[in-house]
A = this chain, B = another copy of it.
Amino acid sequence: METFGKRYHPPGTPPGTLTRHSTSDTTHIRLFEYDGENFSETSSPTAQQCQHAQQNTLVDWLDVTGVNDPIAIRELGETFGLHPLALEDILNSGQRPKIDFHEQHAVLILNLPHLIEDDIVLEQVSLFIGNGHLLSFCSGDGAAFEPVRQRLRQGFGRMRTRGVEYLLYTLVDVVIDSAFPLLEDIGEQIEALEDRVLEKPDKAILHTLHQLKRDLLLLRRALWPQREVISRLIQHDAELVNATMRPYFSDCYDHAVQIIDLIETYREMLNGMLDIYLSSLSNRMNDIMRVLTVVGTIFIPLTFIVGVYGMNFRVMPELEWEYGYFIIWGIMLALAIGMLAAFKWRKWL
C-alpha cells in the first residue's frame, strides 16, 4: 500500500488543470440505458449518444473504468456539465472520500480497496448523480462492478425496474462491502499470529505485526471518511434518499460503521500483541539469563578453588595432605549443592 500518492498540484497553479494519471489500464466507457422494459448497452458512446441519453426518460449509467485520459474526461465533463474542480478530483486519485453537492449533481468520491498479490490497492471510485443519470469513474479496471453489470444485462431481480437511486445504492454497497474480504483476511492473519506470539516470538512476527499495523492504519485513513459521506448523503439529499431507499442506505451506513469498528478492534488487538510480544521476549531473556547466572555463579567460585591449588608456591601445606584432593572435591560439591539450594529457595530455578 502506497503511503503517499501524488495528490496535489505544485502550489500556485490554477485550479482545474488536468494532469495525466499514470496507470497502465486503458479507459473503457460503457453507456447503460434502461427502464422496466428497455435495456441497451453502448460501448464507447459518442458525445451525441451521451447527449441523447441525457434527454430521454431512461435511467442512464455512464460507466468509465481505467480513468487516465484527461482529454476524454474533459469532454465528458462538458457534455454532462460537471464542475472543473470535480473533474480534477476524478483524475487525481488518492483523494480523501468526500461528498459534494453542486447545483446539478451530487459527487461522491469513495475508495474501493482490493487485494492484488497480497498487497492492498486502493481504487478511487467517483460517482456523479443527478437528473436521472449516474456517471461512475473507476481509477482501476472496475472489475468490482462486473456483478452489477451482469444483473442489469440479465434483468435478474428488480434491478431494472428501479430508478437511478437504486443503482447508486448498488454501486455504493459494492464499494463499501469490498473491505470485508480484506478485513477477514487480516482477521485470519491476526488469529494465526496470536498463538505464535505466545509460543515462539521470533523476528518474522515483528515484521508481520508491523506490516499489519501499517496496512490497517492506511486502510483506516482511506475508509474512515466513508461513514460520514454516507451519513451526509442520507441527511442531505431528500430526493435521492427517499423513504423507500432509506433502509438501503442505512444498511450501507451500518456496514461502513462495522468496517471502522473492525479496523479499530484489529488495531487494538495488534497493539496488545506487540505488548505481549515484548513481554514474551523479556520472559525468554529472563529464562536464558537465569541459566547463565546459575551456571556462572556455581562454576566461577569452583574454578577459583581449583586455581588456588594449581599455584606453584613452594610451601602449600594442603597439597601434601594425603586426602587433600578428596577433601577439596567434597568442599566443592558442598558449595555447588548449597548454591543450587539457595537459587531454588529464591525461586530462580
Q: Which residues of A contact B (CB under 8 A)?
A: 3-4, 6-15, 83, 85-86, 96, 98, 100, 102-103, 144-148, 151, 156-157, 159, 173-174, 177-178, 180-181, 183-184, 187-188, 190-191, 194, 198, 200, 203, 206-207, 210, 213-214, 217-218, 221, 243, 247-248, 250-251, 254-255, 257-258, 261-262, 265, 268-269, 272, 274-286, 288-293, 295-297, 299-304, 306-316, 318-325, 328, 347-348
Assembled-state Cα–Cα distance A321/B15 (Å): 91
Taking a contact as CB atoms under 8 Å apart, the answer to whether B254 and A96 are in contact is yes
Taking a contact as CB atoms under 8 Å apart, the answer to whether A198 and B191 are in contact is no
Assembled-state Cα–Cα distance A220/B74 (Å): 36
Assembled-state Cα–Cα distance A67/B321 (Å): 85
Of A198, A278, A300, chain B has the most CB atoms within 10 Å of the CB of A300
Contact of A11 among B174, B250, B284 (CB under 8 A): B174
Assembled-state Cα–Cα distance A320/B250 (Å): 94
Residues of B contacting A178 in the complex (Cβ-Cβ under 8 angstroms): 11
Given contacts A200-B347, A306-B311, A315-B324, contact A286 B284 (CB under 8 A): yes
Assembled-state Cα–Cα distance A218/B177 (Å): 21
Assembled-state Cα–Cα distance A117/B145 (Å): 44
Q: What is the oligomeric copy number?
A: 5
Q: Which residue of B lies closest to A144 (CB)?
A: B11
Assembled-state Cα–Cα distance A181/B4 (Å): 11
Given contacts A304-B302, A312-B312, A313-B325, contact A278 B281 (CB under 8 A): no
Contact of A100 among B247, B258, B274, B318 (CB under 8 A): B247
Residues of B contacting A289 in the complex (Cβ-Cβ under 8 angstroms): 285, 288-289, 293
Taking a contact as CB atoms under 8 Å apart, the answer to whether B251 and A15 are in contact is yes
Taking a contact as CB atoms under 8 Å apart, the answer to whether B293 and A7 are in contact is no
Q: Which residue of B lies closest to A148 (CB)?
A: B12
Taking a contact as CB atoms under 8 Å apart, the answer to whether A4 and B184 are in contact is yes
Taking a contact as CB atoms under 8 Å apart, the answer to whether A269 and B214 are in contact is yes
Assembled-state Cα–Cα distance A243/B83 (Å): 13
